[in-house]
Amino acid sequence: MSRKFFGTDGVRGLANEEPITPQTVLRLAMAAAERFRRGDHRHTVVIGKDTRLSGYMLEPALTAGFVTMGMDVALVGPMPTPAVAMLTRSLRADLGVVISASHNLYQDNGIKLFGPDGYKLSDDDEAQIERLMENGDFALAGSSGLGRARRMEDAGGRYVEFVKQSFPRGMRLDGLKIVVDCANGAAYRVAPSVFWELGAEVVPIAVQPDGLNINEKCGATDPSHMCEQVVAHGANIGIALDGDADRLIIADENGQRLDGDQLMALIASNWHQQGRLQGGGVVGTVMSNLGFERFLGTVGLDLVRTPVGDRYVVEHMRRHAFNVGGEQSGHIILNDYVTTGDALIAALQVLAVVTEQGRPVSEVCRVFEPVPQLLRNVKFNGGAPLDADAVKAAIADGETQLGDGGRLLIRPSGTEPVIRVMAEGDDPALVDSVVGNIVDTIKRTAAS
């Protein structure tokens, strides 16, 4: 079944344009409620959001949809995506909903849904919800059976304590100065609290959301300011989150950036030494650096690659009993603790190794030398340029040039109208040439 509403990470689009309109989101809530109503107990859904202006439009539409179906709603306000997943399980709720477009700018928004187990919905659940949205005859609650909505005032405190419990017992962050970039997003209150309560000196930045500045020149997708502030403040480490705090990028004491591959390599090798690592390796994606894969091989571990999207990583982890996985972009899933990417819990695992070793972050966290990798995005307006003979020929030629010592990946984005072209290999000039040729061919094809 082709998808009309759901993409690789929930429903996403421009705010106040289909499908991110009040009327469609209302119907989405009703369909999700119909799908997850089970038994005669009082049903509950947890709704959180990030700091986008359009959240004020979508939150009441979702609330109305669930209430009209007889579901109670716990509104937690601005809260990280992993916090909503945790609260859904903790409260024994029937659904969790996050209003967020994650790392995108404020113009976009989206809806992410979590089942009662705290995991993102399966393809089958999403397909059933889509069918109900288009064809469903909803069983509305009677006048006396309507749901109720309430503000959950202690949600932030619950989440802060949950995250802190993932840090090794008896260990503290005393003596560390940490720059925390909250992307003017959902974690702008809870993230600084976590590190401060564990003893660190915290320099919070991008913690003044105004509805329009989420992810704007800040956060995990643009950590340059965070890197500068680490050096300016003489900090030991910088921690950058994205708008819904499920992505993590770190800077060392010199302001040098460390991505998700480096952080997974650090955590996995540390857990392997402790006998904690499960599955014999790490679940990454097709975007993970070849240097990461080579490093894991030197310590007897495997890198299993899935399609891009943290949901696919999680599905493989669950199916094959891995406990470390994630994406180069900074989604890191540690399912000993959480059911989805959690930037704060991942950051604490990194800080645990730094604290234990007592050495600078640049020495502890730069675990492998990345293979030169280049990613370029090509916008297109409809059509299927990847099916063109000229593009296929350019891709085949690139694969031949890179040979066995490199990788080439071309894929359409699941969240925006672009084609991503990525190549990696030991010769950066060759990588640049291969990517440039394919990008130019796609552009010519798309324009014709």
CB atoms within 10 A of CB 134: 11
Q: Of how many residues is the chain composed?
A: 448
Question: Cα separation of 428 and 371, whole Å?
Answer: 9
Longest dimension (CA), the chain: 69
Q: How far apart are CA 50 and CA 104, in angstroms?
A: 11
Q: How far apart are CA 241 and CA 243, in angstroms?
A: 7
List residues bridging with 250 in a β-sheet: 239, 258
Judge contact between 345 and 246, C-beta under 8 A: no
C-alpha closest to that of 155 among 78, 226, 63: 78
387: its two tokens: 């099916």
| Percent of residues in the chain assigned helix, strand, coil, to nearest 5 | 40, 20, 40
Choosing from 54, 100, 102, 166, which is the catalytic residue?
Answer: 102
Residue 194: φ, ψ to 5°? -60, -50
Residue 393 burial class via C-beta count within 10 angstroms: exposed 0-12, middle 13-18, buried 19 and up: exposed
Q: Concatenate the DSSP letters of all residues of 30-63 into one string.
A: HHHHHHH--SSS--EEEEEE-S-TTHHHHHHHHH
> Annotated catalytic, 102?
yes
Label the pairing between strands 177-181 and 72-78.
unpaired
171 alpha-carbon distance from chain centroid = 27
- Per-residue exposure over 233-272, b if at least 16 CB sit within 10 Å of its own CB, e if not: eebbbbbbbbbbbbbbbbbbbebbbbbbbbbbbbbbbbbb
d(CA 334, CA 331): 10
**Is the CB of residue 225 less than 8 Å from the CB of residue 200?**
no
Residue 424: phi, psi to the nearest 5?
A: -145, 150
Full DSSP string of 55-67: HHHHHHHHHHHHH
Q: 3-class DSSP state for residue 332?
A: strand
- Residue 323's φ and ψ, nearest 5 degrees, are -125, 5
Single-letter amino acid, residue 424 = E
Active site residues: 102
